[in-house]
Structure 1
Amino acid sequence: MDDTAALVRAAADGDAGAWKELYQRHSGLVWAVARAYLVNGSDAQDVCQTTWFRLAEHLTRIRDPDKVGAWLASTARHEALRVIRASGRATPVSDMGLLGVDIDERSPELLILEAEEAVADAERALVMWGAFEELSDRCRRLLRLLIASPRPTYQEIASGLGIAVGSIGPIRARCLQRLRTLVAERGVTGIRR
């Protein structure tokens, strides 16, 4: 099924395949919204589960089934903010744990060369992430959603962040320009425009 509204109706009628398709289409969006607000992975997972539970509760009452992605993004945002309020903390998300070097059993010379390249890449990534974390919360959240896979629609992003659809492009441009400036100040070059 390609029609989102038809998927929502089929899922509401108990079609497990339709529910699975909805989940596959929108789970990346829900996760990206949750992680844009929450540092703790288990909190983000809880928000995702709660968001999908809320959809199951309201599946027959969704006013505009074609926009279920925006509904999910908005619900994930509200749930994440609820978790933040309940815990009394809001901390920027750090992806430093994503940086790692895989070591295998090839020749020592090749491993040394690859290790040097990996260190250089890791150092560049550290600089990039350091610059990224200096961006405003708004910029970090928007850029994370724009790189989510599958990529959410602008309507879903707008709902997830509580901003107007028409402001996404200009905000994105300003955020990327600020990121380029921060990275250039640190001596990293070759960033695409």
Structure 2
Amino acid sequence: MTGDPALDPALGPARDAGLDPAADPAPRRAPTPRAQRRDRLAALLVEARQGDRDALDAIVAELTPVLWHTARNQGLSRQAAEDVIQTTWLTLLRHLHAISVPGALIEWLVTTARREAWRVSRASRKDDLPGDDTFDDLPDPVLTPDELLVDDERRRALWHAVESLPKRCAELLRIIAFVPRPHYDAVAAALNMPLGSIGPTRGRCFAKLRLLLAKDPDWSS
């Protein structure tokens, strides 16, 4: 080494190739929103292990919808699904330090909820319950944890877009979303709108909603 990079023959090839040996390496890609969410939940789990109740509450608030869909996808009733979710959270409390990789929190919770849902479903049919290892070999036609996250992200994006619409549109779409075949007389009465304006307003609101969703990466991805 000569002490002068310009005179150092060892740096000749790099210099000749147009590379700056002192330059920083190529920047890494920014993590995706899904990866950021996993990292955030992993950090919350670490904080919960240290006794932070707020961190645990945040985990429960964010992932309860994912567990709800996991339980309901197994064909359970609303009450049975609520019991499964409660059992899943109690199981997490008992095994808070048993998850060796905090980033695997979502998979751990989904697997626990599915196994409990299978147990409840089989018990309701008064069948003999198999051992835990039997569940590992059962075919699973429902969403994977990653697919559940995507589904949850799209649902959040949808309702965020709905809330971003003008008040009348948001009110109308909220009613339509929860009624399979909305009766326009009832909708008009609920929103104090002329009956004949429901259909055209509905169409305009859906058009605005599609435009908002098209710009949202959590929806379009």
Given the two structures, how large is their TM-score scaled by the length of structure 2? 0.43
Q: Give the structure with higher Rg (CA).
A: 2
Given the two structures, how large is their TM-score scaled by the length of structure 1? 0.49
- The structure richer in helix per residue is 1
